[in-house]
Amino acid sequence: MSDEATEPDQEFAAMQAVFSALSPLDEGARQRVVDYVSSRLGLAATVARKSSSGKQGVIADEGYDEVEQEMSAQVGGSPRTFEHFAEVFDAVDPQTDRDRALVAAYWLQTSTDAPSVDGFSINKELKHLGHGLGNVTRAIDGLKATKPALMIQLKKSGKSQQARKEYKVTAAGVKYIEGILNEKG
């Protein structure tokens, strides 16, 4: 097999990997990742951006839609959707407080497109199912300490240790949960 025959296969595999990594992220996060990687690799990025009218800008190659559809089909399309938190909780079947907190945060963040979640809301969802955490902050701190972090703290309101904190499930956290969902799918 010649190098010319394998090069398109390698390019397509790279496109699939990039698509899989970027698809769970919101538009702003996707753009930051593409900008950063392009900068690190010394590339001039040609990326479709939405104009103020909401229309998609032109991207360099014709046939882009076909490539995107093929990649979406090969990486499993969009993740499963759930109508209720109980359904996603049952599908993931978390066994630790950390995983329970992550599943609840994932649900709150993805089901409402919320930019952040707080520990109180996470524990409230878990309590509704009879799985309330004794110390939600400790569970979230464990998720923040993993490498890569599965959750991050965005801000803290107040000065006391018990002040309300806002968190976000990272792309790694979303990938972790969706990986479990796809595995058990």
86-143 per-position pLDDT tens digit:
999 999 999 999 999 999 999 999 988 889 999 999 999 999 999 999 999 999 999 9
Place of tokens 């839609």: 65
Query: Is the domain covering 85-184 a CATH 1.10.10.10 domain?
Result: yes
3-state secondary structure of 157: strand
- Percent of the chain beyond pLDDT 90? 42
For 90, phi then psi, to 5°, come to -65, -40
Nearest Cα neighbor of 144 from 97, 180, 98, 100 is 98
- Helix axis angle for 3-22 and 64-74, nearest 10°, is 70
Start-end ranges of CATH 1.10.10.10 in the chain?
85-184
Region of residue 130 (left: phi > 0; alpha: psi -120 to 50; beta: else): left
Residue 14 pLDDT class (50, 70, 90 cuts): confident
Flag whether the pTM goes above 0.85.
no
